[in-house]
Structure 1
Amino acid sequence: MFKKMAQRIAESTSEVIGRGVLVTDENGIVIGCNVRKRVGTFHEPSIKVMQENKPSVTDREEAKKMPGVYPGYTLPIQFFGKVIGSVSISGIPEEVERFGLLVQKQAEIMLREQAFLESNLIRERALRDLVENVASYDGSQGMSELINMQGKELGVTLSRCKSVVIAEMKSWKDESSENAYQVMVRELRSAFSHPRNVICPQRNRRVTVFVTPHRPGTNDDVTLNIENTAKSLVENLEAKGITVDVAIGFPANDMNGLAISLRSARDAMRLGGLLKMNGVISARNLTSEALLDMLPVGKREEFAHRTLAGLEGRSDYEEMRDTFLGWCESPFASGEVAERLSMHRNSLQYRLKKIRALTGKDPWNFKDAFELWAAFVLKNISEENQG
């Protein structure tokens, strides 16, 4: 890490103080310098500085005795209490000595920041590996102990996690995607602030969260609390110009349940996208759609075409589809459905009767209504997959 940072340390500090700066490794070899041709040369004054762990002045007469060395001021660089190299400022010692502490501390601060960033990146990669291991967990292979051990090495207690949440950033305003994503991650950490929650930023502007409840409760209580938290998160981010979808998996009581929760959250996010859902998408509300999605592609396309043949190709197809799917949400409350769809109650009845006439399926008959609903859903899924 030090060798990777040395050139940046030398150039950035040189720009600040307007003097020549070089950085050496523990052997006195120059590994960073504002004059790049000096990289790889030997800087003799650094050896004494590192051995004694204290600054040293090189005057003009001393510099003449050492090839490739200029007058200046050299200081040790420490990293977590250990001397790992040196930094030297060229110039009249009396003039550059005043920059010494500034340059030394700047170099050490940059190293600590880089170490922190690399440590976070390593942890994030390890967390992503953990998430994928949970996703691929198969109870028949008896891998739960190894996955739990992997979690404990990262300070994670998976047995306390009762559900999985996936947040995905869809759009943003006024900022770069990276800045907006960091805002989303911060808001997510604030919303799901329990110290035992596992929050794993991932690729494709997603974040996966293994949720530990704040208080005990039934599975329904846990899911409801997560849904409410997710709704607040979506609203807060919307106010900041960032649109996010949040998928919530089934509740979990063990490793197998946690794996199912993760996979169901991923399926909910995917199906929600195919069905043009947004905001908070809960797996428990997509059980039937998930079952239909498991059908072979050919079978579901054949069923959808056969059921909806009388509607396909019509200019009012989408209007009929949306009316029927809206009606399915409250089939015995026509007035409520009509209000939600912004139409007169009689218009709703007219469209439902028209669907019956064109498809031969009666929306007021449970079996026929289910077949119509399934056909519309399968057609939506197939069309989005093809798109």
Structure 2
Amino acid sequence: MQFITYELAQEIVERTMKILNRNINVMNDEGVIIGSGDSERINQLHAGALLVLKKGESVEIDSSRAVRMKGSRPGINLPIRFSNQIVGVVGITGEPEQIRNYAQLVKMAAELVLEQSFLLERVQWKQMLQSEIVNQLISEEGLNEESIKERAGFLGINLEHPRIVIVIEKSDYTEISNQKLIRSVQYEVGKTDLIGITFNNEIVILKAVAVKESKGELTPFLKRLLKVSGGKVLIGSGSLAGNIKELKSSFYQAKRAIMVGSKLLPDASFYHYEDYQLEVTLAKLAQDEEDKSAFSYYHKLLDQGKKGELIHTLEAYIREGGELNKIADSLFIHRNTLRYRLEKIRELTNKDPRNIKDLIELYMAKLLHDIS
């Protein structure tokens, strides 16, 4: 297995040469130079590196010894170790007496860069695997449950745990990149949670929760997500998925909560599906209605009244559950004025807000208008 690539070797060279005013060479486990401050030496065989690989220890080459070794220059060559094995060699050009104090520092720097690269690759691999699993769970039909459970097991995650799907969408004002956003969010998710990016660049969290966990207990987590995201995102949560098959439904519930909630309450921070279940259901029914003109009577309310007073009255009537005193107080009008407005709504739309069936139809018409 090749631990040190040409790109990684050159990164080691550039990092160490910024600190030391000396040429640095990095050789692979066959003694071939794959990184150097002298580009002409790339792909040359390094005699000092071959000695290091053979002996398993550092090798110093002074001027007199360099003359006897073809193609060699004075310097110190040290083994690069990773996972208890020698995976390459790093060399510093110069007289050993002058550079001996720096040799171990260069070796440590090379091994640190290698370790960081390995850890980064593992993190990236884990992130890619999580995204793949998340996308399969929320989108695929006929899912092979045993196969995906096994893959999640590689990450130490039990998919049998009840979960709530959380969707994070970037708003039109968000400038943060997806990678930076997901890195910020990752610090907040738990070890048993799954996080991924969909093909539409949404961040999806399959959050493991207790069966009896309430919306209030989830809210602090959503607030933390909002904070680390910089506040310029839309966050929605679906209902509890008790098994793998229910995750897809929870995902679409979270998306619909964002779609409807952001239109009805654009200043809200996040949207729980259970808070918008009625609105989501009615909006879907309204959108599925082929004859959109069936709700055209709502536009008559938009065209009537000063500053949309009839619309505000209908909204207050819905919000206050039809209690006339509360409605009048919230609108700062007399009850007689309120009765006049309700009668005006009935005349214009042929729908009486005081009739529950008519009120539902008015609300559907309002929702269709608001989310369009």
TM-score by length of 2: 0.84
| Aligned counterparts, 1:175-214, within 5 A | 182-186=183-187, 188-189=188-189, 193=190, 195-200=191-196, 206-214=202-210
Contact residue 237 and residue 243 of structure 1 kept, 8 A: no
1:20 and 2:10 aligned: no
Contact residue 161 and residue 197 of structure 1 kept, 8 A: no
Deviations 1:269-328 (A, max 9, x none): 333334454323112233333333366567263333x23241355696766545533431
| Structure 1 position 122, deviation (Å) | 0.8
1:63 and 2:52 aligned: no
Rounded to whole Å, the distance in 1 between the matches of 2:55 and 2:325 is 87
Q: Which residue does 2:279 correspond to in 1?
A: 289
| Structure 1 position 363, deviation (Å) | 1.5
- Partner letter of residue 255 of structure 2? R
The SS at the match of 2:241 is coil
Which piece of structure 1 moves more, 203-212 or 246-255? 203-212
Rounded to whole Å, the distance in 1 between the matches of 2:253 and 2:134 is 14
Identity over aligned residues, as a percent? 23
Structure 2 counterpart of 1:308, from 298, 308, 314: 298
| Structure 1 position 68, deviation (Å) | 3.7
Q: Which residue does 2:145 correspond to in 1?
A: 144
Q: Which residue does 2:132 correspond to in 1?
A: 129
Q: Which residue does 1:385 correspond to in 2?
A: none
Which piece of structure 1 moves more, 356-365 or 202-211? 202-211
Unpaired stretches in structure 1, ≥5 consecutive residues: 383-387
Rounded to whole Å, the distance in 1 between the matches of 2:169 and 2:178 is 12
1:6 and 2:2 aligned: no
Rounded to whole Å, the distance in 1 between the matches of 2:279 and 2:175 is 36
Contact residue 320 and residue 351 of structure 1 kept, 8 A: yes
Structure 2 counterpart of 1:365, from 334, 355, 367: 355
Unpaired stretches in structure 2, ≥5 consecutive residues: none
| Structure 1 position 95, deviation (Å) | 0.9
Structure 2 counterpart of 1:265, from 244, 254, 260: 254
- Partner letter of residue 206 of structure 2? F
The SS at the match of 1:159 is coil
Rounded to whole Å, the distance in 1 between the matches of 2:25 and 2:338 is 79
Q: Which residue does 2:157 correspond to in 1?
A: 156
**Cα distance change of structure 1 residues 275 and 64 upon mapping to structure 2, 3 Å threshold:** farther
The SS at the match of 1:77 is strand
Deviations 1:7-55 (A, max 9, x none): 1110110111111101111111111112222222221110111222211
Rounded to whole Å, the distance in 2 between the matches of 1:101 and 1:172 is 49
1:248 and 2:250 aligned: no
How many residues align? The count is 366
**Cα distance change of structure 1 residues 133 and 182 upon mapping to structure 2, 3 Å threshold:** closer
| Structure 1 position 177, deviation (Å) | 8.1
Rounded to whole Å, the distance in 2 between the matches of 1:261 and 1:299 is 26
Contact residue 230 and residue 280 of structure 1 kept, 8 A: no
Rounded to whole Å, the distance in 1 between the matches of 2:67 and 2:304 is 92
Rounded to whole Å, the distance in 2 between the matches of 1:362 and 1:55 is 92
Rounded to whole Å, the distance in 1 between the matches of 2:58 and 2:15 is 21
| Aligned counterparts, 1:26-175, within 5 A | 26-138=29-141, 141=142, 143-168=144-169, 170=171
Rounded to whole Å, the distance in 1 between the matches of 2:338 and 2:41 is 82
Rounded to whole Å, the distance in 2 between the matches of 1:80 and 1:350 is 82
Rounded to whole Å, the distance in 2 between the matches of 1:345 and 1:204 is 50
Rounded to whole Å, the distance in 1 between the matches of 2:168 and 2:159 is 19
Deviations 1:336-387 (A, max 9, x none): 5566x664465766654443343232222111111111112112222xxxxx
**Cα distance change of structure 1 residues 348 and 77 upon mapping to structure 2, 3 Å threshold:** farther
Rounded to whole Å, the distance in 1 between the matches of 2:131 and 2:95 is 52
**Cα distance change of structure 1 residues 230 and 349 upon mapping to structure 2, 3 Å threshold:** farther
- Partner letter of residue 269 of structure 2? G
TM-score by length of 1: 0.81
